[in-house]
Amino acid sequence: MSDFSTRAIDWLESLIAFDTRNGIGDEIPCAKFLQAALATHNPDTLYLGTTPRSRGRSDGAYILAIWGTPQILLNVHFDTVPSGEGWSADPHIMRREGERLIGLGASDIKGAIACVLAGLEQVTPHNVAVLFSGDEEQGSEVMRDIIERAKLPDVPRAIICEPTGCEIGQRHRGFISYAVHFDGPGGHSSLSDKTAAPVLDAARLGTALGEYGADNLAIGPTGYKGLCVNIGMIESDGAHNVIPSRAELRFSLRPPPGDDIAIRVTDIENISSKIMPQNKGGMSVQQMTAFPPFGVRDLAGFAPYFQGQEKHPIDLPYWTEAAMLSEAGIDCVVYGPGDVAQAHKADEFVTITQLETAGKVYMRALAGQMAGQS
């Protein structure tokens, strides 16, 4: 086994031990650990920031290290999803079974952080920035804070690390989600002909949204046709003989690459407003997320890092923060060790071979390998 692989495994074991479960764990201790690890490589800039988050969750965190005048940014999130049920052993204690390294976040995506840290021990960082960030798995409030506070370095390109099986992700859908609340006085079902009907109004809106999705099945590029409008749930406090006093409709849509989410938001507002004349009670619309779609602009510009692999990019089925960085003006690709089929799953794992493969790409980026530069 190579020195790189040995060190990557060691780093991954340490990283998995930190409980960075989104909404449950604490990102700050892991952030301080990462800050100390990066400090040993003498970056010109090293900054640890925190981000207050909504819904009573603990603060998010991020660490930014810069060497020279960066030409590329490596970004990896260090939060994980909750561990859930089905784990055969403690999810925060890494286990090795042959090629597999098992533990919470091994695939999504602490394995990439381990590669970056092991890579820094192999090469001298040059004209590169490394951003380790939290809160990717729920809300992306940390990345939004970084962008809004202008903390991103001025770089032309970024590799966003996600479990792509060491293939280059070139595009993916956006994601918009809403919660719509309907209110009324409630009452006995015998009065339903003249009493506000929150569930009925929620159903009317759900039907209108479903028709909107059906009318747009042909939009988008090949492989990403349609808006993927999904009516997720309608909940109320009523019963078959009780008029509910409230109802909530939750829905989402996933605009395809190249689509304008501002147009979709306007369409949703217009569809919702048409329900109001039929609604005898009250209605409020809450936008929960509005993440844009993503598409790489100049894939050939990443050739020095991938050395031919960029000729065979893949489309991604899931959303990533590459969309946010791309919207902020940085051209991105998505790339990392691990398999999305293992992410968010009990006994998730990454293979040593994939760590080695990803490590080669990350080390080229860390060393400042650009066109015409050794």
Is the residue at 372 inside a domain? no
Strand, coil or helix: what is 35? helix
- Angstrom distance (rounded) from CA 67 to CA 41: 9
Say which CATH number the domain at 309 has.
Answer: 3.40.630.10
**CB of 57 within 8 A of CB of 143?**
no
Q: What is the predicted pLDDT for the residue at 363? A: 97
Whether residues 9 and 145 share a domain: the answer is yes
Residue that is last in its domain, among 226, 260, 288: 288
Whether residues 161 and 51 share a domain: the answer is yes
- Angstrom distance (rounded) from CA 33 to CA 244: 51
**CB of 203 within 8 A of CB of 312?**
no
- Angstrom distance (rounded) from CA 290 to CA 178: 9
Q: What is the predicted pLDDT for the residue at 57? A: 73
Task: Render each residue's pLDDT in the chain as its tens digit; 374 residues.
Answer: 899 999 999 999 999 999 999 989 999 999 999 999 999 999 999 999 999 987 667 899 999 999 999 999 999 999 999 998 999 999 999 999 999 999 999 999 999 999 999 999 999 999 999 999 999 998 899 999 999 998 999 999 999 999 999 999 999 999 999 999 999 999 999 999 989 999 999 999 999 999 999 999 999 999 999 999 999 999 999 999 999 999 999 999 999 999 999 999 999 999 998 886 555 678 999 999 999 999 999 999 999 999 988 889 999 999 999 999 999 999 999 999 999 988 999 999 999 999 999 999 999 999 998 644 43
Is the residue at 32 inside a domain? yes
Continuous segment of H or E residues that includes residue 86: none
**CB of 231 within 8 A of CB of 194?**
no
**CB of 182 within 8 A of CB of 249?**
yes
Domain hosting 252: range is 176-288
Q: What is the predicted pLDDT for the residue at 54? A: 78
Structural domain total, the chain: 2
Say which CATH number the domain at 216 has.
Answer: 3.30.70.360
C-alpha radius of gyration, the chain, whole number: 23
- Angstrom distance (rounded) from CA 176 to CA 264: 9
User: Full-prediction pTM beyond 0.85?
Assistant: yes
Q: Nearest 5°: CA angle at 167, between 94 and 359?
A: 50
**CB of 208 within 8 A of CB of 274?**
yes
Is the residue at 238 inside a domain? yes
Whether residues 233 and 309 share a domain: the answer is no
CB neighbourhood size of 143 (10 A): 26
Is the residue at 64 inside a domain? yes
* DSSP for residue 110: I
Whether residues 40 and 165 share a domain: the answer is yes
Q: What is the predicted pLDDT for the residue at 139? A: 86
Question: Among all residues, which ones are annotated catalytic?
Answer: 136
**CB of 268 within 8 A of CB of 181?**
no
- Angstrom distance (rounded) from CA 328 to CA 143: 11
Is the residue at 143 inside a domain? yes
- Report H helices in the chain: 3-17, 27-39, 111-120, 141-148, 198-215, 261-275, 303-306, 322-327, 352-366
Whether residues 263 and 297 share a domain: the answer is no
Query: What does the buried/exposed string (b/e) look like for 237-272 if buried means 16 or more CB atoms within 10 Å of the residue's CB?
Result: ebeeeebbbbbbbbbbbbbbbebebeebeeebeeeb
Whether residues 136 and 225 share a domain: the answer is no
- Amino acid sitting at position 86: G
Is the residue at 373 inside a domain? no
Handedness of CA 241, 243, 244, 247 (dihedral sign): positive
Whole-Å CA distances, 133 to 53, 74, 113, 179, 343 = 14, 11, 11, 27, 18
Whether residues 116 and 239 share a domain: the answer is no
Whether residues 160 and 53 share a domain: the answer is yes
Q: Nearest 5°: CA angle at 301, between 74 and 165?
A: 55
- Angstrom distance (rounded) from CA 51 to CA 36: 19
- Angstrom distance (rounded) from CA 276 to CA 224: 32
The residue whose two tokens read 């962008």 is 147
Burial class of 149 by CB neighbour count within 10 A (0 to 12, 13 to 18, 19+):
exposed
